[in-house]
Structure 1
Amino acid sequence: MTNYHDPIKHLNFLRQTLSLDKKPIGFFVSAGCPLSVEMPKGEWPLIPDVAGLTQYATQELGSKDEEPYNDYDRLLKEVVKSEKDPKNIEDILSFIRSLKVVAVGNDVRGFNIDALSEIEKNICEKIVEKLDVDLPSENSPYHKLAHWISIDRSVPVEIFTTNYDLLMEQAFEDISIPYFDGFIGSRQSFFDLRAVEDDLMPDHWTRLWKIHGSINWFQKENKDVFRTTRTDEINSSHLIYPSHLKYDQSRKMPYLALIDKLSKFIRKPNSLMIMTGYSFNDEHLNDTILNALKSNPNTMVIAMLFGDLTYKDDNGDVIENYPNAVKLARNRSNLAIWGKDEAIIGTVRGHWHTMDDDFDDSINLANSITFVQKEGEDGEETDEKIYSLNLGDFSKLGEFLQALIGYNQTNFDEN
């Protein structure tokens, strides 16, 4: 038996839900989102993906000759020996920091603490070189998300992101949206744990939680975490931490507090989290999300995934693009994943299909749903249609939110 999901029904549900004034709504913005920003010819992407970022760091820091190897090359050899991914800059950073934990007073795998710290610092600097960029226009999907957030709501929107860049901050500031990211002050902004944990901010402030740190977070010599844009105050590595290692207390404080904010949000009654640009490859984050979903059956997480859920390899075998997401969604009824060709909703997997071919634009906002005629074996078009839901592309999600603003005047009563 073939299962189907009606994209019209679910798009209409999303439209109405996002229009509810008192519903806790959050967005989880992850690594795939900068790839959707339209750029001039030859300048795409604005920010590369993890593989591209790793390639850049390796080209810049690795030895240009096969022999002799420099410290970075030797480190990559150790990464491979430890069965970590040398093409993932986050795995490399996590590996360095795991070595640093035991390198105080000892050499570990041929590295002392100073060498490891220098490699870590150099990697962070290369990451910043690629991530310290501006959005090319105020018509970006980040700005469209920000414009939707600007609508007055009784309950503030919360943005969670694993990205280190400052694109969300730029979008908020370009259109004068007040937000709070956990830091207080203007010269050397410090992390205010009490304000984060107790939610001591005005309701009209959007919450921006940068779970994995940021390119403008640093540590003082006394280990206190601060945020600044003044280069003369930078005296240590950028506070970028993709891993969940046991840092010293001050360094891990923002990470643990913000992970806890993510868990608390999903545990809120009747909350909705929309995830975009996330591929479900961070096991620690997956566990946090899954445990919160288990404890609160009245919440909903919808993950918008880019492209199809599957592809065929050279042998014609069907391969999952997002195996971790599929596994989680098949076992949690309050986690839905929406791909371009398929979705898993209520643990049921099915292709998109609707019987209403004449749906109008008032439902299909910004052409979120498209279709083509299916071809038969003879190459001729058949009467059957193949439907696609395009919201897994962050730029399309931004267009949907922009179109939705015109519908916020409609009152939808909460059940």
Structure 2
Amino acid sequence: MATHDPIKHIKFLRQTLSQDKKPLGFFLSAGCPLAVQMPVGKWPLIPDVAKLTKFIADELKSKSNEKNNYDKLLEEVILSNKNDQNIEDILSFLRGLKEVSIGNSVRGFTNADLIELEKKICNKIVEKLEVNLPGKDTPYHKLANWISIDRDKPIEVFTTNYDLLLEEAFENLSIPYFDGFVGSKQSFFDLRAVEDNLIPNHWTRLWKIHGSINWFQKENKEVYRSSLTKENGDSYLIYPSHLKYEQSRKMPYLALIDQLNRFIRRPNSLLIITGYSFNDQHLNDTIISALKANPNSMAIALLYDTMTYEKDGAIIERYPEAVERATQNNLALWAYDEAIIGTARGKWKIQAHIEDVENLGNCYSKQDQQLKLGDFSILGNFLQALIGDNQSKLDEK
């Protein structure tokens, strides 16, 4: 069985992330907020999908014996073999019904019923996601601090999260960024600036692929970003995962997916993926097709925990979609105990001198011989170490 030397690959990553002329990007997904340390009893800052789904169910399900529309919606979700424990599946299913309910009713729901349900669900999502980072020493701030270094090529950050944690970190550190919108009161989406890259180099590019809790859509389909997270009458522009392909043609989703595609196709680009479980097939296809089209680009997915786990005596893949993609394409996976690099799967095994192990810092556990960059908090420390441990940027703010 193949093995991979963690020291060799950490050195490569350090060297690559220290360059200022190489196109560098980060892809942050749902697992990242879970890495933010919180006071006792306050963790997590933002719940995972399962806990968010339970919160919404507790809030919206009927408190009496009589079923309400949310109860009925969950019944239809189950009848359609969808996952009623995943609010993103529920919201996607609801929106599918809404599309075909115009001028009629579907499965006992009128179009007005579905519009009202969608608003209630999105309001509850915003209620849980409208939070602030606990201080200025979080992994988000450390990523932002690393991004703040002057470079010849700007950093591009892609995220499927619709919270405002990245924006908060950037603004805490006075780091200018562009998310596709321009203006003040009701910022509008500037497609030309996105596609033609008409943005200063010292501005970080922040691409929120699945929308945001402060993006809205008017009845005439016009999209805008607000300084508020509550707008009268307009619908939230929150696109959950598992989108149907016909939904993905909507703006600005299509423009931001294209931006991810264009970034990976740039010569010698490197995309660091963290907090992502590879459960969104549309995003997977976008990443893999771009990697195939540009063999000089690279994507490294830093996976949380081990590659497999044991259940009832059987070994189960924790990230089956990621493994399938990486064993056929130039996508690297770095889990705690194993890696797939150059399509070869193997355990981490140090093949260098012991003094080199000390230089790995806390991203490698000598005790259990695991490389833990898949933990966003450890990745933040790793990035902070690249620019020095004095935290001068953080202390100035």
What CA distance in whole angstroms lies between the structure 2 residues aligned with 1:21 and 1:196? 21
What CA distance in whole angstroms lies between the structure 1 residues aligned with 2:325 and 2:346? 16
Cα shift at 1:3: 1.7
What CA distance in whole angstroms lies between the structure 1 residues aligned with 2:159 and 2:24? 14
Alignment correspondent of 2:318: 321
What CA distance in whole angstroms lies between the structure 2 residues aligned with 1:231 and 1:326? 38
RMSD: 1.5
Q: Say which is worse superposed, 232-241 or 288-297, in terms of deviation.
A: 232-241
Verify the 8 A CA contact 2:126 2:229 in the aligned structure 1: no
Q: Tell me the amino acid that sits aligned with residue 354 of structure 2.
A: D
Alignment correspondent of 2:337: 341
Three-state SS of the structure 1 residue aligned to 2:366 is strand
Alignment correspondent of 1:262: 260
What is the percentage of aligned positions where both structures have the same residue?
64
Verify the 8 A CA contact 1:11 1:363 in the aligned structure 2: no
Q: Say which is worse superposed, 139-148 or 74-83, in terms of deviation.
A: 74-83
Three-state SS of the structure 2 residue aligned to 1:336 is strand
Paired residue for 2:159, among 141, 161, 170?
161
What CA distance in whole angstroms lies between the structure 2 residues aligned with 1:196 and 1:277? 25
Alignment correspondent of 1:111: 109
Verify the 8 A CA contact 2:214 2:228 in the aligned structure 1: no
Cα shift at 1:368: 1.1
Consecutive unaligned residues of structure 1, counting only runs of 5 or more, are 373-385, 408-415
Cα shift at 1:100: 1.1
Alignment correspondent of 2:52: 53
Alignment correspondent of 2:350: 354
Q: Tell me the amino acid that sits aligned with residue 290 of structure 2.
A: A
What CA distance in whole angstroms lies between the structure 1 residues aligned with 2:199 and 2:232? 28
Alignment correspondent of 2:143: 145
Alignment correspondent of 2:365: 370
TM-score (norm 1): 0.91
Three-state SS of the structure 2 residue aligned to 1:311 is strand
TM-score (norm 2): 0.95
C-alpha spacing 1:231/1:97, structure 2 compared with 1 (3 Å): closer
What CA distance in whole angstroms lies between the structure 1 residues aligned with 2:256 and 2:120? 26
Verify the 8 A CA contact 1:361 1:367 in the aligned structure 2: no
Cα shift at 1:360: 3.9
Verify the 8 A CA contact 2:7 2:356 in the aligned structure 1: no
Alignment correspondent of 2:220: 222
What CA distance in whole angstroms lies between the structure 2 residues aligned with 1:371 and 1:50? 32
Give the count of matched residue pairs.
387
Cα shift at 1:229: 2.1
Verify the 8 A CA contact 1:98 1:245 in the aligned structure 2: no
What CA distance in whole angstroms lies between the structure 1 residues aligned with 2:43 and 2:263? 34
Alignment correspondent of 2:11: 12
Alignment correspondent of 2:73: 75
Three-state SS of the structure 1 residue aligned to 2:388 is helix
Alignment correspondent of 1:122: 120
What CA distance in whole angstroms lies between the structure 2 residues aligned with 1:279 and 1:183? 28
C-alpha spacing 1:42/1:158, structure 2 compared with 1 (3 Å): same
Alignment correspondent of 2:374: 392
C-alpha spacing 1:194/1:399, structure 2 compared with 1 (3 Å): same
C-alpha spacing 1:231/1:341, structure 2 compared with 1 (3 Å): closer
Cα shift at 1:253: 1.1
Cα shift at 1:247: 4.9
Three-state SS of the structure 2 residue aligned to 1:214 is strand
Alignment correspondent of 1:411: none
Cα shift at 1:232: 7.3
Three-state SS of the structure 2 residue aligned to 1:238 is strand
Verify the 8 A CA contact 2:159 2:207 in the aligned structure 1: yes
What CA distance in whole angstroms lies between the structure 2 residues aligned with 1:338 and 1:353? 13
Paired residue for 1:282, among 275, 280, 288?
280
Verify the 8 A CA contact 2:2 2:344 in the aligned structure 1: yes
Q: Point out 4+ residue stretches in structure 1 off by more than 4 angstroms.
A: none
